Structure formats: structure tokens, C-alpha cells
Amino acid sequence: MISILDYDAGNIKSVEKAVQYLGEEAVITRDRDVIMASDKVILPGVGSFGDAMNKIREYGLENVIYDVVDADKPFLGICLGLQLLFKTSEESPEATGLGILDGEILRIPDAPGLKIPQIGWNNLEINPNARLFKGLPENPYVYFVHSYYLKAKNPEDVAASTFYSTQIHASVEHGNVFACQFHPEKSSEVGLKILKNFIELEV
């Protein structure tokens, strides 16, 4: 069973439907006992960094997330869920994120001819050893919606990158912690394969 953390994030139902489509039981929950009893955990997210962290704390999920990570359960952050794994974001300078991974969340720089947020399909440059992207072709296209991006501190954490005005670290893997800036649940067959790889992970 996979727990999808419920903190009023916008794309929770679409993540649940994608997981269920792949034949895996999924539950949307903020119940600590249910989360800790699950095999894997997903932190989705749409919205602002500061508001999301406030909701996570309001619902008592911050320490649950740390406990999940410490228990070596496979953990997947999606979109804002990736950004929340880091300590700070230029979007909400006053807010403190989870600080599980090292890096910066920065605003995508303005560039001629490019609109911000990035909304639409972009291709990935994949680390061939990345477990989330096992079995995918080179440079697959996935669906993004974001104005802020990750610049990871540790190159070895970067599972995939893309370019949109700047080099964007689009996916990370560190131990049992995985995350994607893009939306696998909206990325057609490629996205379903990424979610399937997560479901089948053994950490």
C-alpha cells in the first residue's frame, strides 16, 4: 500500500488515480499509523512553498515525514513535493522547509521568448544509474508546471536534468528519498513508467 500525504495539496487525486491505474492500493491520508504501516509514501504538491509547509505543520506531518525517511521507506516528492525536501526557497524566504536534502530552490530566470512559469513538455537528461528512470529511452519528455527550480548541492543526488532558461535539476535520488519537479501522473506513458518503477522499488 502507498500513502499519499494529505495536506490540502492540489494534485492529490490525480496521483491517487495514477497509482491505482498501475494496480497498487493507494490511500490519501494524514493518519500517522496508516502512513507508517504503508510500504511507500508520496508527497505531492501544487501551490506555494510557505503555505505548504504551514499546512504540513498544521496537520502534524513534518515529524511523520522524518520518521518515514528514517525508516528507509521509499519516499517520493512530486512537483512542490520535491521543493519541500529542501530547507529554503526564494518563493517564501521566511519559510523553513523540511531540509532532508541539500540544495537551493530558486526562481527560474527571465529569458527572451520564455514564459514563466514553465508549463508544458520538456525533455530530460537522465542519469543512467537513476532507479526511477529504469527502462526509459534517452531524453524522454515529461510535463512541467513550475516557476521555481532546484539547484542541488550534491551532483550525485541528481537523477535527471532539463533546461529552461537555466539548468534545472528535475529529479533527485538519495537513499530512499526520490523526487521529481515534473508531474509523472500527467506525463503519459513515460510518467506511468516512472511511477511503476517507484512502486516496484526495493530499498
User: Could you tell me if 131 and 113 are in contact, meaning their C-beta atoms sit under 8 angstroms apart?
Assistant: no
C-alpha cell recorded at residue 39: 510500504
Catalytic residue among 174, 180, 183, 202: 183
User: Could you tell me if 181 and 172 are in contact, meaning their C-beta atoms sit under 8 angstroms apart?
Assistant: no
* Catalytic site includes residue 183: yes
CA distance 175 to 140: 24
Closest CA to 152 of 105, 95, 184: 105
* Catalytic site includes residue 16: no
**Which residue's entry shows cell 488515480?**
17
Q: What is the 3-state secondary structure (H, E, C) of 49-104?
A: HHHHHHHHHHCCCHHHHHHHHHCCCCEEEECHHHHCCCCCECCCCCCCCCCCCCEE
* Catalytic site includes residue 146: no
CA distance 179 to 138: 19
Catalytic residue among 16, 79, 146, 180: 79
**Which residue's entry shows cell 530512499?**
176
Q: What angle do CA 200, 137, 164 make, to 5 degrees?
A: 105
Catalytic residue among 16, 91, 173, 185: 185
Q: Which residues are catalytic?
A: 79, 183, 185
